[in-house]
Amino acid sequence: MERIIHIASNENDIVLDSFLGSGTTAAVAHKMNRKWIGIELGDHCYTHCKSRLEKVVDGEQGGISKTANWQGGGGFKFFELAPSLLKKDKYGNWVIDKDYYNVDMLAAAVAKLNGYKFSPDENVFWKQGKSHESSFIFTTTQFVTTKYLDLLSIEMQLGENLLICCPAFDSGLNNRYENITIKKIPQSVLERCEFGKSGEYDLKIMNVNGLESGEESDD
């Protein structure tokens, strides 16, 4: 492994091992002054990889330590992937797993996808995130109608801009207000989730004041 890393990389390069195993690649790369990323699935990421690399940082003298004059040092960050956002229901359809995720997490994910910082306002429900002081994002799993949009517009202050993310909306709404943009939640999410159904499909994030769930537009 030392020969491979020496031939294929230089100091401070990033070495990736997406099947880290016992952590050998990361251990050797660390001692050779390379940055590294290791990915592993299973309990041995704790029992082997993490514990081994902690010893490397502390200066253990196995492997190439003598030839590399390794005395210890550096460090690493250890991350765990969250559970899958999706699960299959009893009919085989992909739905959002509400045992692990809630509506705030969905709104946070959509905000990040669009370059907004998720920071819900305590008093204004549709201000779920912002890209700067006067530009906000609102994610809803409801169908956005003209009436729905008009109610939101009334609450907005002069100079504020709003991005609304939703599964679908009335045609022509993007031309109704200069300071409001509407876009669909990414298709990669919509293809795997079903909205507007009862039970585990019900993922309504917020209702606009004055609108009941499922209320139809008069237009």
**Whole-number pLDDT of residue 113:** 85
For 133-170, letters b (16+ CB in 10 Å) and e give eeebbbbbbbbbbbbbbeebeeebeeebbbbbbbbebb
Residue 205: is its pLDDT beyond 90?
A: no
Q: How high is the pLDDT of residue 210?
A: 46
pLDDT of residue 169: 92
Domains of the chain: residue spans and CATH: 2-58 (no CATH), 86-201 (3.40.1350)
Residue 52 has pLDDT above 60, yes or no: yes
* Averaged pLDDT for residues 12-21: 95
* pLDDT for residue 178: 94
- Say what the pLDDT of residue 214 is: 40
CA–CA gap between residue 142 and residue 203 (Å, rounded): 9
What per-residue confidence (pLDDT) applies to 42?
83
Determine the 3-state secondary structure of 41 from DSSP. coil
User: 195 pLDDT exceeds 70?
Assistant: no
* Residues 66-96 pLDDT 10s: 999 999 999 999 998 877 777 777 777 667 6
Mean local confidence (pLDDT), 56-69: 95
Overall pTM > 0.75:
no
Rounded distance, CA 206 to CA 138, Å?
A: 9
Asked whether the beta carbons of 161 and 180 are under 8 A apart, the reply is yes
Q: Each residue of 21-44: pLDDT tens digit?
A: 999 999 999 999 999 999 998 888
- Candidates 138, 155, 149; CA nearest to 103 is 138
Question: How confident is the model over 109-123, as a mean pLDDT?
Answer: 89
* 50 touches 38 (CB < 8 A): no
Let me know: does 59 contact 72? Beta carbons within 8 Å: yes
Q: What is the pLDDT of residue 9?
A: 96
Q: What would the pLDDT profile of 145-166 be if each residue is shown by its tens digit? A: 999 999 999 999 999 999 999 8
DSSP reduced 3-state for 96: strand
Confidence of residue 192 (pLDDT cuts 50, 70, 90): low
What's residue 84's pLDDT?
75
For residues 180 and 164, is the Cβ–Cβ distance under 8 A? yes
Contacts 24+ apart (CB under 8 A), 100-106: 103/203, 103/204, 103/205, 106/139, 106/141, 106/203, 106/205
pLDDT of 110 reads: 87
